Each structure stands twice: as C-alpha cells, then as structure tokens.
Structure 1
Amino acid sequence: MKKNILIIGAGGVAQVAAVKAAMHNDVLGDINIASRTIEKCQAIIAGILDRKGLKRPGLIAAHALDAMDIEATKALILRTKSQIVLNAGSAFLNMSVLRACVETGAAYIDTAIHEDPSKVCETPPWYGNYEWTHRDECERKGITAVLGAGFDPGVVNAYAALAAQHYFDRIDSIDIIDVNAGSHGRYFATNFDPEINFREFTGTVWSWQRSQWTANAMFEVSRTDDLPVVGTHKTYLTGHDEIHSLSANLGVPDIRFWMGFGEHYINVFTVLKNLGLLSEKPVVTAEGQEIVPLKVVKAVLPDPASLAPDYSGKTFIGNLIKGHRGGAAAEMLIYNICDHEETFAETGSQAISYTAGVPAVAAAMLIAKGEWDCHHMANIEELPPVPFLDLLEVMGLPTRLRDGAGDRSYADEELPARKTARLGAS
C-alpha cells in the first residue's frame, strides 16, 4: 500500500487531478500540488476547499517547484513523504520527474510520452527513445512506473486490452478515434498546452500499418464515421503516443489514431505553419532579440484553462476494433462520451482536461490499493484493464460498447471469459 500523492503541474489536467484526488483522499492520503507558479497551485486548492471537496479532513498543500531540477524534486518528494508522484505537467518534464522517483522509490505516473523540446515528431518508437530506456532499472529497483495514464494514451490502451482479453479471438486492426464536438466560442484556441498541441501536427504523421511504421503528411488521410451521440465527423490520421506501445505490446498489424479537426482550425493552423510561426527553432528579430516563434504563438493564444467556463458540447473517444470471434468476422466500438458543461460544474475544467486527469488519479488509486503497484515500468495495456475501467465508471468516465449485439453500458456487461487473442492475420 502506498500513500500520499504529489501532483506536478497546475494547468487544466492538474486541476482535475487535484479535485479528484481530494474526493478520494481516504485512499490517497496527503495531497501536494507543485508548480513553478505556486499561486496557480494555491488557486486550485482554494477552489477545492470552497467546494468542500476533501472526502475527509486531511492535508492539501501547494509548493513552488521547477520539476526540471531533479534534486529539488527529490527533496520535495521526501519532504512531503509522497509515495506516488503524478506528472500532470508538460511532457518535457517526464524524464526529470521519473529520475527523481527512481532515486526516491516513489511510484511514477504520467499522461503522455516524454518530448525533447529541440525535436519535433521524432522517428518512432518514442517510448524506446526515452522512458523504456529505464525499464531495466525500474525492474531492478522495484519502482512502479505507469506510463501514459490519461485517456489517449491511457484508457484507450485499456480498451484494447479489454478487447484482446475478453472479446476477440484475433485482432486485426485498432482505430482510435478522438472527436471534440464541443465549442469554446473563441476565434482560435487549443484545448491543452499550445506548444505540445502544435508539435503533434507540424511534422510527419506516423502510424502502424501492415506491422511497420508508415509515414504520411498531416491532413493527408481522412475518414468519416457516424459516431454515437456526437454524430457524423471527419477525422484525420495523426501520430499519437499510444500507437508506440500498443504496436510493441499487442502485436496488432494495423493501429491508427484519428483526430477530428474543423475546417477553421485547419485553415488557421496551415497559415501559422506556412508563415513559420509554429517553428521551435529560434529566430533573431531586426532588433537583435532571439525568440522562438512557437513560444510567441503560445503566449498570445488563450490559456486552455480559461476556455472551460464557456465550453459546451461533448467529446467522443473510442476504439474501433476489428478481428474475429467464434470463427466469424467481428467489430466492436468501445468508447466514452464526456460533457464539457458537466465537467466544468464538477471540477472547473473542460472535458479535454477531465478525460486526461481522471484516469491518472484512478491509476494512482490502483497503485495505492496495490492492484497496479507492479514494481516495474508498464504501459496501461500491460496492466489489468477491468479494475481500471470499473473505477472509471464511478469516477465520471463511463464506458460503452457497440457491436452486433447493440449499444450498451459496460457497467451492465457480463464479461465473456478471459482469453488471450491471437493478434494479427494468421
């Protein structure tokens, strides 16, 4: 059993994580929130206390921290006696925070693959370039490190594991579809850190097809699906974190990620990119000042957290899985619908942050209870999916299933007996 959680970050995802951790402090113990700007942490705590959001009386505290400073992070982990560390900040921090956890013995959780600020859309596999280089050390030292515990990556990985273990005799393809059918009313904004958001889309799109990495340009390949609740949407083939672990761990020959974009977003994005304003490389102005164009764009765009009060509509995220079951071709859609206004009422954040923050806290609770305290490094699909999805049902992210038997709630489902699917064409 592990107790006391340190949440690193003070953006929208960290806010959701803190609110949910407070609701479950009987399991998680002390809650500490750390960021370079302590005032943001204090504001999150004030909101929780105003809502009387602690399940039981307990410690919730704010700290100033530069999480790139490994020694400072180690000192804070030890000072707060935190046995679980959730990196809900930038993906640039992963390796520093992981190192601090390895050296203090704390369990580590993140929600996305590490990124090197100087590189964009690196050649796959990204996990193999960063986190996975520390797998042997985690195993040797018994460190629990759970990678990609948001929604995508995260819950969609658990959906894939659920399908492989209970519903398919053979899986041939997994198409992960992410659509934000909501509206924030701004001329242009990103739903999470603009720097991270744009970096996903300015380089080569990598997907896993025919058991090999396949390169495409952004917005080159699209599909249209009639999706539950949100209706018909066009989505585009996009490179994404979970493809890197699922392709290695499940052996499915075709794994693709599709994200919805409106024409307005594509037009503005294209102009910014063509003007060079999404570059991460420094330029020198006529006045001799060195600036990074992407950071300037980030500075002038709305803070993603500020979008929450005006957001309406819903999100759809799910896996369309095809393969064989009982000797016949089979298809299943495993998905979640999340409502922006409902998540704002509960946590003060919009659904994009909610869908990333809630699963990370569920992972922390499973580590605290011992069910996911695996004492090695693991991606979500390598851990038992059922306790994770069961917990999400009661934490605000219910799962639904759609196949030949109809559209139904996962909570009402009697799972077929566990099996191990053959993966890919025979």
Structure 2
Amino acid sequence: MKRNVLIIGAGGVAQVVAHKCAQNNDVLGDIHIASRTLSKCEAILESVREKAAMKQQGVLKAHQVDAMDSGAVAALIRETGAQIVINVGSAFVNMTVLDACIDTGAAYIDTAIHEDPTKICETPPWYGNYEWKKRDLCAEKGVTAILGAGFDPGVVNAFARFAIDMMDEVKSIDIVDINAGSHGKYFATNFDPEINFREFTGVVYYWEDQQWKEKKMFETGHDWDLPVVGTQRAYQSGHDEVHSLATNYPQADVRFWMGFGEHYINVFTVLQNLGLLSEQPVKTAEGQEVVPLKVVKAVLPDPSSLAPNYEGKTCIGDLVKGTKDGEDFEVFVYNVADHKEAYNEVGSQGISYTAGVPPVAAAMLIASGDWDAGTMKNVEELDPKPFFTILDKIGLPTRMQIGGLGGEDKPWNG
C-alpha cells in the first residue's frame, strides 16, 4: 500500500488537493506541499488548519522547490518519503516531475498534458509529444503514472469509459463543459490565464471519421440543454482528453465543447487581435523584452481571488452515442458542482474544486492498490467504478441520463 503524498503547486487547485488529502489522511498518510514560493504553500496549509480539515493527526508540511529541476524534485521526494506525487503545478513542469517520479519510484498523477512554453497546439495526439514517450520506461521500472486525472481531462475520460462499457459499439463522444457561475469581475480566467489563453489561441483539433480535423476557435457553437444549468451555448474547442480518447477509441468521433459568454469572446478577440496573447517575446520602445501573454496574466485577477464572490453552478458531462443490442443507444454522464459550496468547504471556487478533487480520488485508489497500475495510464484505461465511488463520497457525485440529454436521470449506480 502506497502512502504519503507530495503535492506540487500552490494555486487554487493545489488548495483543494491539500484540503481533500487532509480530509482523507487516514488513507493517504503524511501530506507535503511544495512550490517555488514557500509562503503560498504555508498559506494553503494554514487554510487547512483553519478549516480543521485533518481527519486525524499527522504530518502537514510546506517545502520550497523549483519543479523545473527534476533532481531537486527527486531529492524532495526522498526527503519526505512520499510515495504518491500529485502534480498540480503548471503544465510546463509535467515532464521534470514525471522524471523525478520515475527516478524515485513514486507514483505520479497530473491533471493536464505537458506544454512547452515556446509552442502552442503541437501535432496531435498531444500526449505523444511528451508523456507517452516515457510509457515504456514507466512499465520497465514499475512506476504508476496516471495522466490527466483532473476533471477534464480526467473524470470526463472515466465518464466516456463508463458509457462505452454499457454499449456494444461507440460512435461518438461529445464532452460538454459549462460554467454557469459568475465571479463579478469585468474579465478574469478561472485558472492560470497563461494556460487558459494558450488553449484557445491555436488550432481546434478534433477526431472525426477516424482522422484528425481542424477548426478555428469559436467557429462552431451549439446550444446544449443541460441538467440544472439549462440551455447554454458552447463552442467546439481543442482539449487534452480528445487526444487520448481518440487513440483509445479510434472508431468514435471525439469532440470537446466549452461554454463561453459573448463578453468573454469579445475581450479575448480584442486581446488576440492586438497580439497580447502571443507567447513570443517583444521589445518595448525602451528596449525591455517582455512576453505579451505574461503581461496580460500579470494584470488580470489571480484566479484564486475569485472564490469569495463566486456564485452559480458548473455542469460538465459526456454525451456518448453508440449501439446496444442492435439499436441506437445514448447516455449523458455528468456532474454538477456549486461554486459557493466549494468555497465554504475548502476556500476555492468551483472550477478549482472540480479539478482538485479527482486527483485526490486517484491517489486514494493508488493507495488502495485499485489503480496502482505499475505503468503509465490515461484515466479511460482504468476501471471507472471505484473512481466514481470515491468521488461520490468526497464531493463530486456522478449522475447520468439514459437516452441522452433529457432522458431518465439517476445516479450512476442507481
């Protein structure tokens, strides 16, 4: 049984992870958190103490580390005795943290595909450019690496697997991510602005007719009538989970849809047209070199600051279509989360909550042995039922509508 957790990162998602690890430290053991800025780690641990989140007495400690330094991360893993590393730092550090886990034998969990800061929208499948190159090494060394174990990617991959297991044949997977909440700011992103904007400034890759196809961002919109949040407009977007699902289910069309209001689209379009979303450095009139995207990030609100005033709900789910017993069959598997409830429980908004709870559930499954695969896996390659069971218990219950949207609504195990 693996125990003792090292959390990499100190943003809004890391805060959720720390609280949830504390609430389940009878399973996960010692809890350590590390980032470049020690004070941020200490603030998160203070919030855990204020909420009296620790299920039982145990280690709760902050550390400073440069996650881009694989050797330093490996040294910290050894120092702390961590057997499970939950990486919720920037996607830029995935490979160095993964290498540290391979070096030390610790299990690795992340919530997004690795990104090179100088590149946007590389050739699909994106996992093939980085993480999957380490798959054979993980198998050789018996290292468990669970990729994309946030919500999307992560839970939505498990939703797809669960739905497909109900069918004889799968034909399409449409992932729909709607945030129907409001933070009250003129303009802000729900997570790291740099990562957020990079998702939407490149090509929209999707898998259809057993081949990669391309669109432009905001080219294709659709109104989805969803549980709880009602009818919401979402636009076809490029996203991490499309790349593993298309590889594991090549016979199915795989698309991702994200909700955007007109105000967000207008501001985004102005920023992009002015060149302010570029990741390439430019020189000011005074000769100072700056990266426009980093300047925009610096002037926007910190996503963690949105939490106190956030209201409303999210709805994220998979509409999966196929055949069963010779007839057409479809099901919508989904979760609804509440921003205010998330803040009251862990001091974070709902987007961070939905991203932070699942990797803790994955860590608990590694600890129990259910997901301790001894190799590299994407979430859809693992049994989703124990995952849903833990998510139900720790804050993200799964529901489904048989017959598709508007069908019979019930718990996944009902």
TM-score, normalised to structure 1, is: 0.96
Matched, 1:292 2:291: yes
- Give 2:341's aligned residue: 342
- AA of the residue aligned to 2:408: G
Paired residues for 1:123-142 under 5 Å:
123-142=123-142
User: Could you say what secondary structure the match of 1:176 adopts?
Assistant: strand
- Give 2:14's aligned residue: 14
User: Could you say what secondary structure the match of 1:259 adopts?
Assistant: strand
Query: How big is the shift at 1:362?
Result: 0.3
In the alignment, the residues of structure 2 paired with residue 277 and residue 250 of structure 1 have an alpha-carbon distance, to the nearest angstrom, of: 37
- AA of the residue aligned to 1:408: K
- Give 1:333's aligned residue: 332
- 1:379-399 alpha-carbon deviations (Å, 9 max, x no partner): 000111100011101111001
C-alpha contact 1:245 1:379 (8 A) present in aligned 2: yes
- Give 1:416's aligned residue: none
In the alignment, the residues of structure 2 paired with residue 408 and residue 368 of structure 1 have an alpha-carbon distance, to the nearest angstrom, of: 30
Of 405, 409, 412, the match for 1:410? 412
- Give 1:154's aligned residue: 154
In the alignment, the residues of structure 1 paired with residue 293 and residue 208 of structure 2 have an alpha-carbon distance, to the nearest angstrom, of: 31
Name the CA shift for 1:305/1:27 in 2 (closer, same or farther; >3 Å). Answer: same
Cα RMSD after superposing both structures: 0.7
- Give 1:80's aligned residue: 80
- Give 1:96's aligned residue: 96
In the alignment, the residues of structure 2 paired with residue 116 and residue 209 of structure 1 have an alpha-carbon distance, to the nearest angstrom, of: 26
In the alignment, the residues of structure 1 paired with residue 402 and residue 103 of structure 2 have an alpha-carbon distance, to the nearest angstrom, of: 46
C-alpha contact 2:164 2:320 (8 A) present in aligned 1: no
In the alignment, the residues of structure 2 paired with residue 183 and residue 50 of structure 1 have an alpha-carbon distance, to the nearest angstrom, of: 26
C-alpha contact 2:31 2:59 (8 A) present in aligned 1: yes
- Give 1:164's aligned residue: 164
- Give 1:308's aligned residue: 307
User: Could you say what secondary structure the match of 1:296 adopts?
Assistant: helix
Query: How big is the shift at 1:276?
Result: 0.2
In the alignment, the residues of structure 1 paired with residue 236 and residue 39 of structure 2 have an alpha-carbon distance, to the nearest angstrom, of: 39
- Give 2:183's aligned residue: 184
In the alignment, the residues of structure 2 paired with residue 163 and residue 232 of structure 1 have an alpha-carbon distance, to the nearest angstrom, of: 23
- Give 2:30's aligned residue: 30
- Give 2:201's aligned residue: 202
User: Unaligned regions of 5+ residues in structure 1, if any?
Assistant: 414-426
In the alignment, the residues of structure 2 paired with residue 23 and residue 16 of structure 1 have an alpha-carbon distance, to the nearest angstrom, of: 11
Query: How big is the shift at 1:249?
Result: 1.1
Query: How big is the shift at 1:410?
Result: 1.7
- Give 1:61's aligned residue: 61
In the alignment, the residues of structure 1 paired with residue 20 and residue 7 of structure 2 have an alpha-carbon distance, to the nearest angstrom, of: 11
In the alignment, the residues of structure 1 paired with residue 382 and residue 320 of structure 2 have an alpha-carbon distance, to the nearest angstrom, of: 19
- 1:158-217 alpha-carbon deviations (Å, 9 max, x no partner): 11111122x211110000000000000000000000000000000110001111110100
C-alpha contact 2:13 2:356 (8 A) present in aligned 1: yes
Query: How big is the shift at 1:250?
Result: 2.0
- AA of the residue aligned to 1:324: T
In the alignment, the residues of structure 2 paired with residue 288 and residue 238 of structure 1 have an alpha-carbon distance, to the nearest angstrom, of: 37
- Give 1:422's aligned residue: none
Query: How big is the shift at 1:252?
Result: 3.4
- 1:40-68 alpha-carbon deviations (Å, 9 max, x no partner): 11011111111111000000000011100
- AA of the residue aligned to 1:50: E
Query: How big is the shift at 1:71?
Result: 1.0
- Give 1:252's aligned residue: 251
In the alignment, the residues of structure 2 paired with residue 252 and residue 57 of structure 1 have an alpha-carbon distance, to the nearest angstrom, of: 50
Structure 1 residue ranges, 4+ long, deviating more than 4 angstroms after superposition? none
In the alignment, the residues of structure 2 paired with residue 260 and residue 403 of structure 1 have an alpha-carbon distance, to the nearest angstrom, of: 23
- Give 2:262's aligned residue: 263
Query: How big is the shift at 1:310?
Result: 0.5
C-alpha contact 1:174 1:252 (8 A) present in aligned 2: no
- Give 1:282's aligned residue: 281
In the alignment, the residues of structure 2 paired with residue 153 and residue 326 of structure 1 have an alpha-carbon distance, to the nearest angstrom, of: 30
User: Could you say what secondary structure the match of 2:75 adopts?
Assistant: helix
User: Could you say what secondary structure the match of 2:363 adopts?
Assistant: helix
C-alpha contact 1:184 1:307 (8 A) present in aligned 2: yes
- 1:232-273 alpha-carbon deviations (Å, 9 max, x no partner): 011100000001101111223300000000000000000000
C-alpha contact 2:8 2:89 (8 A) present in aligned 1: yes
In the alignment, the residues of structure 1 paired with residue 270 and residue 91 of structure 2 have an alpha-carbon distance, to the nearest angstrom, of: 26
Once the two structures are aligned, what percentage of the paired residues are identical? Answer: 64
In the alignment, the residues of structure 1 paired with residue 250 and residue 266 of structure 2 have an alpha-carbon distance, to the nearest angstrom, of: 36
- Give 1:420's aligned residue: none
- AA of the residue aligned to 2:31: I
- AA of the residue aligned to 1:148: G
The worse-fitting range, judged by mean Cα deviation, of 250-259 and 302-311 is 250-259
- Give 1:113's aligned residue: 113
In the alignment, the residues of structure 2 paired with residue 48 and residue 357 of structure 1 have an alpha-carbon distance, to the nearest angstrom, of: 14
- 1:286-328 alpha-carbon deviations (Å, 9 max, x no partner): 1000000000000000000000000000001000011111211
C-alpha contact 2:204 2:214 (8 A) present in aligned 1: yes
- AA of the residue aligned to 1:118: T
User: Unaligned regions of 5+ residues in structure 2, if any?
Assistant: none
In the alignment, the residues of structure 1 paired with residue 160 and residue 28 of structure 2 have an alpha-carbon distance, to the nearest angstrom, of: 27
In the alignment, the residues of structure 1 paired with residue 224 and residue 283 of structure 2 have an alpha-carbon distance, to the nearest angstrom, of: 45
Matched, 1:272 2:271: yes
User: Could you say what secondary structure the match of 1:271 adopts?
Assistant: helix
User: Could you say what secondary structure the match of 2:214 adopts?
Assistant: strand
User: Could you say what secondary structure the match of 1:188 adopts?
Assistant: coil
User: Could you say what secondary structure the match of 2:287 adopts?
Assistant: coil
- Give 2:387's aligned residue: 388
In the alignment, the residues of structure 1 paired with residue 268 and residue 352 of structure 2 have an alpha-carbon distance, to the nearest angstrom, of: 21
In the alignment, the residues of structure 2 paired with residue 270 and residue 330 of structure 1 have an alpha-carbon distance, to the nearest angstrom, of: 39
In the alignment, the residues of structure 1 paired with residue 366 and residue 180 of structure 2 have an alpha-carbon distance, to the nearest angstrom, of: 33
User: Could you say what secondary structure the match of 2:366 adopts?
Assistant: helix
